[in-house]
Structure 1
Amino acid sequence: MTSHPVLAFIGAGNMARAIIGGLISNGYPADHIWASEPDLSRLADLAAQGLHTTSDNNLAVASADLVVLAVKPQVLKSVAQDIAESTQTHKPLIVSIAAGILSSSIDQWLGGNVAIVRCMPNTPALVQTGASALYANPQVSAEQRLQAETVMQATGIAIWVEQESQLDAVTAVSGSGPAYYFLVMESMIEAGKKLGLSEDTATQLTLQTALGAAKMAASSDVDPAELRRRVTSPKGTTEQAILRFIEGGLPDLFDTAMQACNDRSVELSDELGKD
């Protein structure tokens, strides 16, 4: 292994290109990255950045130390089975960012005894502020864990979980989480309009407030609950809004919604991982 392992991306959709872009912007040498993709226009764009490109998945696998499986979950089985022989021959680390498919299923499709890291990224990776959780199967070495972590840190933070089942909870928190915040933003914008603000004004204020609150929480030495208490003056305006949220059951609603997300993630793993 070199200080910059050769990477191969099987699939060059939005998430793969976000990771590649993050790697390159952080100084990763483009000529250490392969991309395999049937869409020739995507390959042309990546080749222009200095990547090796191909439509032959097996060629990419044979050239790499670490292979990122960045295809849709519905086609992962066929893709994995197609590269099984190359994987068994060259023994790269496999990193799967396909949602919902267990490492045991991927291992079986690849021929067995394969070092696999499952990763659950989220869409803010597209703007380099992603949150990814990773799980390593027993075949993954300490060096390979570091390599996988380095790849995913190119688009934000990367956090390890020790039990694969925890990725279902990760899906409920960060994987699907951006949509929760988008819904809150939608609701605040609509409420602002009803209170007399223009759509543009309500939108700008809502988005900047969300950005500011997230930055404050991320940089603070206290938890979000304490930050909320600090801006909620007794008998003040903020308190009135918070009381309505609590009376309306917002905390319980989040609990119910995220449990449903977790449960659906478990169901999808069962459905997509079938032989």
Structure 2
Amino acid sequence: MLAAMSIPPTDQVPGPAIHVQGLEKSYKELRVLRGVDLDVARGSIFALLGSNGAGKTTVVKILSTLLKADTGTARVNGFDVATQAAGVRESISLTGQFAAVDEILSGRENLVLVARLRHLTDPGAIADELLRRFSLTEAGARRAATYSGGMRRRLDIAMSLIGSPPLIFLDEPTAGLDPEARIDVWQAVKELAEGGTTVLLTTQYLDEAEQLADRIAILHQGRIIVNGTLAELRRLLPPAKVEYVEKQPSLEDVFFAVVGEGDKDGQDHKTRSSEK
């Protein structure tokens, strides 16, 4: 988990929070990214949607300076990820696919520890405010090992916010969570954006992108094949009509239309879109 210690005044930095152009990455003969282009507006939730192996985590690792691209450029909060890595790290937070909490410590102790490591004043007050914000006050004194999956994930996101980073990367934040826990995390993500935090979210869950994102990009075989708002993506397909009721295509309809029904990487997609 990366997070800010000293946040630059990003409101004075022109342009998008994230700007990516021509990003490529290969592992020997395997081309993971084949020229990714995207922009993420400040204060928005941007969903990078794709199947397992599409390259979503690779994009996040490059943008968070954990991995170097082979070619292409990327700027995060105005900093070049290749030449200004320290500036990038000071202005972001990264929450990976698995909650990075210390199970021996209580929820509050986890938060206090991170605040102290970042040399912030009054770590206890910071911890108490984050516990309140993420509805964890009653569980704050309990060991994190006793938390449910959704509570652990909320605590993990809360830890990522210490220092008020203007941009947070959430890599598959609800992977493996039950439906109730997923909704809890969704609410936490929405509150981040409402507070002005820019969120880049990677997910393979179509309903998650549909519920949360201001803009959605579909990453397939290392390339962004569509990028737009949910309304714009729906317009890629004609509206279906059942009797006299007009049915708008769901994000799942759009996803499989642009990716191709026959190319599912061997996965059994059992769910299909429901009418809204």
Question: Which protein has the bigger helix share?
Answer: 1
Could you state the TM-score of these two structures normalised by the residue count of structure 2?
0.28
- The structure having more radius of gyration, on CA atoms, is 1
Question: Which protein has the bigger strand share?
Answer: 2
Higher relative contact order (CA 8 A, sep 6+): 2
